[in-house]
């Protein structure tokens, strides 16, 4: 597999790409176990699909920003390596589907020519940092959070503290108190605030912590009402360090930050975060707010426009256009059905934006786009051009604008089809509830399973894929959830599960709910208040008649968009834990971390070197524990269990204990002296670990031990 990497590609990115290429070759030669390789490729954005032999590639777009040249480049690589489709996600990424594994390094290399990365797009890392798409132009924002999201992204890109955690970690920045970034369901959320001190305006953030969606959804708790802006990165680093050390690693269903908060308590979590301060790479981080310069075209002439239907233009302008805080400029929301844009459309859109707007589009959390800095006199022209591209649907972020994950079209975990149902519901709404094109406080979201890629638990009315049994037959179904989302004053709600309904009855279910609201809501009543006032059981009984399996027809046993009878085929999630492990392989992982530590020492990056030495200690200790049939589910558990298991072994003597010795990491400044001494200690420990392991093998006549399934992955 030849690979030509442009000189435009950074040294770090080139190393990543070549490493991925080498790992793919070793995997195809049978030299790397499948699950080990999967954990590696996921952190490089390469994700298995439902269809065998092809991958989904997730492109990481921090805070959803994409320039015209970047959009064209993504379209070009989709034409070359994928299907020509660009899928916009609820994490403000773009995904390409049906990519051959061996093509992923070349695809990545071409993307990096426009500074687009795949690193950290999937896997147990800090995922794409999201932000309100209108950051920088929002009339109500205290200040633009774009630069902060940008700096945080690059601070944790390739940072050793977050490359191999127990689970993924999600961070969001809202532009104002209305929280269009949904910070309340993130591991960490930042909401900008201004504080007056001595006659000066000080920037800072309200910080929320420990939220999450999925089968067990939780809202984040407030860690700081006002954290000075220069502390947002130190605080985040400290939280991630604690999550890495204390977070669950065996049971991935309990491995998110929200479960750590539940396990040890919010106050204890904040205490542990405070204890990490001494070890942090930086104690203060100043952001350059001038980095984000907006590139605008120079006085573009106004092309002639002929609109056949001015009412359609008025509907679009009313629901999809808003005045920016910059006078004389407007933002245009682009509603994208199913989040799918063909490459040919993307190229034409990029050309339009480059010539007539700011070269700074944003992917939105509801799978749309934002075009910025459009002059008022150009709005009819934009409407005309967007209409030609099929991108001028009115009702952005309204009830009509349904969010939907790809579902069983491509996803391993999906139970049912999300996309065909979404299209069906949009048609129903257009026919029966056309006036709801102006309703922005009843959101509908669909996920193909309970894992919430469609963010159904944040919907006022949401659905996730499921099934219902009728004897030997299985009916495709949707779990109906109600009452989630963001209120008009910015309060976040998690939806409640109400009832499971056959998926072919979901259009009726949605119609029942909306009619009930229109008939019984008080004047001006917010939908969630209405739901709470009537109560969950009211809606359960409202929808119960739709669940009568005896009244179903043959077509009800066929999912939307399918022709055959339903059969739930759920694959293995691509963030699964290691299935097979060999003790010596684990020790080699520790050696790899030690090599990274040495590189850090040579480059003078002492905090990174120290963390890699720490990982070498933990992983080597894990290997020895597994050799003694001791499994642990956290890093702190490994340190404690090592003391208990090896305290009587003469080879391993630490004062006062192994745990205390390794946790020097948070008792010392990240100095050159400590980095070197910690590295030397880790190196000696690894030598002893190899000695101990060699004796074990000798005693066992050279037979290595296989470790199965749920042992802890360090």
Q: Among the three residues 258, 279, 300, which one is the final residue of a domain in this structure?
A: 279
What percentage of residues in the chain have a pLDDT greater than 90? Answer: 81
Using CA atoms, how far apart are residues 28 and 102, in angstroms rounded to an integer? Answer: 9
What is the SS3 assignment for 182? coil
pLDDT of residue 565: 85
**Using 50, 70 and 90 to split pLDDT, how confident is the model at 292?**
low
Residue with the bigger pLDDT between 343 and 216: it is 343
Predicted confidence (pLDDT) at residue 711 exceeds the cutoff of 70: no
**Using 50, 70 and 90 to split pLDDT, how confident is the model at 492?**
very high
Position 572 in a domain: no
Q: Do 522 and 638 sit in the same domain of this protein?
A: no
Residue with the bigger pLDDT between 296 and 578: it is 296
What is the gyration radius of the CA atoms in the chain, in angstroms? 26
Burial group, residue 377, by CB count within 10 angstroms (0-12, 13-18, 19+): exposed
Q: Do 158 and 239 sit in the same domain of this protein?
A: yes
Mean pLDDT in residue range 367-385: 97
Q: Report residue 157 as tokens.
A: 């890109």
Q: Do 88 and 37 sit in the same domain of this protein?
A: yes
Q: Do 98 and 162 sit in the same domain of this protein?
A: no
Q: Do 181 and 212 sit in the same domain of this protein?
A: yes
Position 611 in a domain: yes
Query: pLDDT digits over 426-462, tens only?
Result: 999 999 999 999 999 999 999 999 888 999 999 999 9
Burial group, residue 490, by CB count within 10 angstroms (0-12, 13-18, 19+): middle
**Using 50, 70 and 90 to split pLDDT, how confident is the model at 649?**
confident
Q: Do 591 and 671 sit in the same domain of this protein?
A: yes
Q: What is the DSSP letter of 376?
A: G
Among 101, 161, 168, 176, which Cα is nearest to 128's? 168
Position 24 in a domain: yes
* Phi-psi label, residue 354: left if phi above 0, alpha if psi -120 to 50, beta otherwise: alpha
pLDDT of residue 574: 55
Q: How many CB atoms lie within 10 A of CB 380?
A: 18
Mean pLDDT in residue range 38-56: 92
What total of structural domains would you count in the chain?
A: 4
Position 131 in a domain: no
Position 219 in a domain: yes
Predicted confidence (pLDDT) at residue 235 exceeds the cutoff of 70: yes
Residue with the bigger pLDDT between 215 and 332: it is 332
Q: Do 552 and 409 sit in the same domain of this protein?
A: yes
What is the SS3 assignment for 565? coil
Mean pLDDT in residue range 249-266: 93
Query: pLDDT digits over 313-331, tens only?
Result: 999 999 999 999 999 999 9
Please give the angle made by the CA atoms of 431, 435 and 440, to the nearest 5 degrees: 120
Position 73 in a domain: yes
Crossing angle for the helix pair 379-388 and 343-356, nearest 10 degrees?
170
Q: Do 265 and 167 sit in the same domain of this protein?
A: yes
**Using 50, 70 and 90 to split pLDDT, how confident is the model at 680?**
very high
**Using 50, 70 and 90 to split pLDDT, how confident is the model at 518?**
very high
Domain that holds residue 423: 403-557
pLDDT of residue 379: 97
Q: What's the whole-number average pLDDT of the chain?
A: 93
Q: What is the CATH number of the domain that holds 18?
A: 3.90.480.20
Torsion over CA: 179, 455, 217, 237 (sign) = negative
Q: Do 42 and 163 sit in the same domain of this protein?
A: no
Mean pLDDT in residue range 358-380: 97
Q: Do 489 and 436 sit in the same domain of this protein?
A: yes
Using CA atoms, how far apart are residues 569 and 415, in angstroms rounded to an integer? Answer: 7
Q: Among the three residues 228, 263, 279, which one is the final residue of a domain in this structure?
A: 279
**Using 50, 70 and 90 to split pLDDT, how confident is the model at 703?**
low
Instruction: Note the Cα 353 to chain centre separation in Å.
Output: 27
Predicted confidence (pLDDT) at residue 569 exceeds the cutoff of 90: no
Q: What is the CATH number of the domain that holds 673?
A: 1.20.120.330
Mean pLDDT in residue range 162-175: 95
Query: pLDDT digits over 116-136, tens only?
Result: 999 999 999 999 999 999 999
Residue with the bigger pLDDT between 32 and 187: it is 187
Instruction: Note the Cα 292 to chain centre separation in Å.
Output: 23
Among 418, 270, 277, which Cα is nearest to 337's? 418
Q: Among the three residues 256, 279, 302, which one is the final residue of a domain in this structure?
A: 279
pLDDT of residue 710: 43
Distances (CA, A) of 654 to 249, 648, 661, 688, 691: 26, 11, 7, 13, 17
Position 601 in a domain: yes
Ranges of beta strands (E only) in 23-89 are: 46-48, 55-59, 65-66, 85-88
Q: Do 644 and 703 sit in the same domain of this protein?
A: yes
pLDDT of residue 31: 86
Any residues with CB less than 8 A from the CB of 153 and at least 6 apart, and which?
62, 63, 128, 129
Q: What is the CATH number of the domain that holds 411?
A: 3.30.413.10
Mean pLDDT in residue range 607-633: 93
Q: Worst-scoring range by mean pLDDT, 2-11, 115-124, 490-499, 645-654?
A: 645-654
Predicted confidence (pLDDT) at residue 2 exceeds the cutoff of 80: no
Distances (CA, A) of 599 to 154, 440, 662, 677: 20, 52, 20, 15
**Using 50, 70 and 90 to split pLDDT, how confident is the model at 624?**
very high
Using CA atoms, how far apart are residues 126 and 186, in angstroms rounded to an integer? Answer: 12
Q: Do 530 and 622 sit in the same domain of this protein?
A: no
Predicted confidence (pLDDT) at residue 257 exceeds the cutoff of 70: yes
pLDDT of residue 580: 37
Position 257 in a domain: yes
């Amino acid at each position: 597999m030849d690979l030509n990497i442009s000189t435009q590609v950074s040294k770090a990115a080139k190393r990543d790409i070549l490493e991925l290429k080498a790992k793919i070759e070793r995997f195809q030669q049978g030299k790397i176990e499948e699950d080990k390789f999967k954990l590696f490729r996921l952190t490089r954005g390469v994700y298995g699909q439902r269809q065998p032999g092809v991958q989904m590639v997730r492109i990481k777009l921090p805070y959803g920003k994409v320039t015209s040249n970047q959009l064209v480049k993504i379209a070009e690589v989709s034409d070359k390596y994928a299907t020509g489709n660009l899928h916009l996600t609820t994490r403000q990424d773009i995904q390409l589907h049906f990519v051959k594994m061996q093509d992923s390094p070349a695809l990545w290399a071409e993307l990096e020519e426009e500074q687009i990365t795949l690193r950290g797009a999937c896997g147990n890392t800090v995922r794409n940092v999201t932000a309100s798409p209108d950051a920088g132009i929002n009339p109500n924002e205290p200040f633009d959070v774009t630069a902060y999201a940008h700096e945080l992204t690059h601070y944790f890109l390739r940072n050793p503290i977050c490359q191999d955690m127990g689970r993924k970690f999600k961070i969001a920045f809202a532009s104002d108190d209305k929280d269009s970034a949904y910070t309340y369901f993130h591991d960490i959320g930042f909401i900008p605030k201004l504080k007056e001190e001595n006659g000066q305006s000080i920037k800072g953030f309200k910080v929320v912590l420990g939220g999450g969606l999925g089968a067990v959804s939780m809202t984040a708790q407030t860690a700081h009402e006002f954290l000075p802006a220069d502390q947002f990165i130190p605080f985040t680093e400290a939280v991630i360090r604690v999550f890495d050390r204390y977070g669950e690693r065996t049971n991935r269903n309990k491995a998110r930050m929200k479960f750590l908060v539940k396990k040890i308590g919010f106050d204890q979590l904040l205490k542990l975060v405070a204890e990490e301060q001494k070890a942090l790479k930086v104690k203060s981080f100043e952001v350059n707010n001038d980095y984000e310069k907006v590139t605008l075209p120079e006085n573009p002439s106004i092309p002639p426009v002929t609109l056949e239907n001015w009412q359609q233009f008025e509907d679009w302008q009313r629901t999809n256009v808003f005045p920016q805080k910059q006078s004389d400029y407007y933002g245009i929301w682009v509603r994208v059905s199913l989040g799918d844009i063909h490459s040919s459309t993307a190229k034409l859109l990029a050309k339009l934006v480059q010539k007539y707007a700011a070269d700074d589009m944003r992917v939105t959390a509801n799978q749309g786009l934002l075009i910025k800095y459009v002059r008022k006199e150009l709005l009819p022209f934009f409407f005309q051009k967007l209409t030609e591209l099929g991108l001028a649907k009115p009702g952005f972020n309204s009830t009509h604008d349904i969010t939907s994950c790809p579902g069983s079209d491509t996803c391993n975990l999906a139970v049912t089809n999300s996309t065909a149902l979404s299209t069906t519901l949009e048609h129903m709404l257009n026919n029966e509830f056309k006036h709801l094109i102006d309703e922005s406080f009843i959101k509908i979201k669909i996920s193909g399973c309970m894992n919430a890629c469609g963010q159904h638990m944040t919907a006022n009315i949401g659905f996730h894929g499921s099934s219902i049994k009728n004897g030997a037959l299985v009916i495709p179904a949707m779990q109906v959830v109600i009452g989630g989302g963001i209120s008009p004053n910015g309060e976040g709600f998690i939806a409640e599960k109400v009832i499971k309904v056959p998926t072919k009855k979901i259009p009726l279910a949605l119609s029942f709910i909306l009619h009930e609201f229109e008939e019984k809501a008080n004047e001006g009543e917010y939908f969630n208040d209405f739901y709470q006032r009537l109560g969950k059981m009211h809606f359960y009984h409202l929808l119960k008649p739709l669940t009568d399996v005896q009244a179903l027809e043959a077509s009800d046993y066929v999912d939307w968009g399918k022709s055959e009878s339903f059969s739930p085929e759920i694959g293995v999630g691509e963030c699964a834990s290691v299935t097979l492990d060999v003790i010596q392989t684990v020790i080699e992982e520790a050696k790899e971390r030690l090599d990274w530590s040495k590189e850090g020492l040579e480059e003078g990056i002492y905090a990174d070197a120290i963390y890699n030495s720490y990982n070498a200690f933990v992983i080597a200790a894990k290997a020895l524990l597994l050799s003694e049939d001791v499994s642990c589910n956290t890093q702190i558990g490994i340190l404690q269990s090592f003391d208990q298991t090896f305290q009587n072994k003469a080879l391993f003597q630490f004062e006062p204990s192994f745990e205390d010795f390794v946790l020097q990491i948070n008792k010392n400044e990240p100095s050159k002296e400590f980095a070197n001494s910690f590295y030397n200690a880790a190196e000696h420990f690894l030598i002893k670990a190899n000695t101990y392991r060699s004796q074990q093998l000798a005693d066992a006549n050279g037979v290595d031990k296989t470790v199965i399934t749920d042992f802890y992955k360090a």
